[in-house]
Amino acid sequence: MNEILVVGSLNMDLVTYVPYLPAEGETIASSKFLTIPGGKGANQAVAMGKLGASVRMIGKVGTDEYGSMLLNSLRNSNVKTDGIIEDGLTGMAFINVAESGENNIVLVPGANAEITKLDIDQLSLFIETSDVIIMQLEIPLEVVKHVADIASKYNKKLILNPAPVMELSRELLQHVHTIIPNEVELGMLTKSNITSSEDVIRASKELISLGVKRVVVTLGSKGAVIVTNKNIIKIPAFQVEVVDTTAAGDSFIAGFAVGITKGMSDEDAAIFASKVAGIVVTREGAQSSIPTLDEIDKVQLV
């Protein structure tokens, strides 16, 4: 079985459910509060574990109760945790979820900000022995670049989720096999205004000109689009009733990575990923909303 390595963040999500997202300076009442294991890296790792992939994670959590809860969540989803360092205080995410399903998030990085290039060097065997490496940007950018350099040295496929979005160098992008941004992230990466499908394709081609092999842009209810040097493939979204969009993007990325490691074409992997994300948005929470492979097979979406 192909080995997937996630290098990224682990956060405890402190989730507040509200009627709508509050305006600046506004105080509103919440109907419910939940503590849910999260973090973009951990969400993606858990999703791939639930989808039957062989997954390991490199990251850092605190020596507190939240850290233990995050490690248990990964292990319960068949994610190998021998690459996770325990030190300091666990990262947290304060999340407001509106009745519409939309959310906003404030991150407290905690231990995620403390992972170093030296930590990566000490765990580099895991990069060498993996087939696909997946990263996000909730850990220090210098660490992301260092992992990319090592992955390139061993000719590994690197999938990058550029979130939270920040300026990325050509040097880093040249190591990226697949970059998976949403519309907003794509616009910020390319410093362009994305208002149409033509804008999405133009901006995606700009990233390809900088060295990325393929761009997969997630478009929410409008689906996704895959752009390479040779093809432009539009992937429709499944029509579902949205409850909570938390972890939808992470689940799409996980589904796409699992599809690729199973030998699917880009298009089939993206369709599979879209189904995974389509199920996730019908449920509350981050990791708790992610379906198993059996559930994917049983659920019929249109």
**DSSP-based three-state secondary structure for 168:** coil
**DSSP-based three-state secondary structure for 161:** coil
Structure tokens at 274: 């879209």
Which residue among the candidates 87, 131, 149, 250 is catalytic per the annotation?
Answer: 250
Distance from CA of residue 25 to its chain's centroid? 30
**DSSP-based three-state secondary structure for 290:** coil
Residue with tokens 């992470």: 250
Nearest CA to 255 out of 281, 274, 236 is that of 274
Q: How far apart are CA 144 and CA 221, in angstroms?
A: 30
Query: Which contiguous run of DSSP H or E holds residue 26?
Result: none
Helices 248-261 & 266-280, crossing angle to 10 degrees? 150
Binding residues: 11-13, 39-43, 138, 182, 218-223, 244, 246, 249-250, 280, 283, 285, 289
Q: How far apart are CA 11 and CA 263, in angstroms?
A: 31
Instruction: Please tell me the total number of residues recorded for the chain in this structure.
Output: 302
64 is a catalytic site residue: no
Residues with active-site annotation: 250
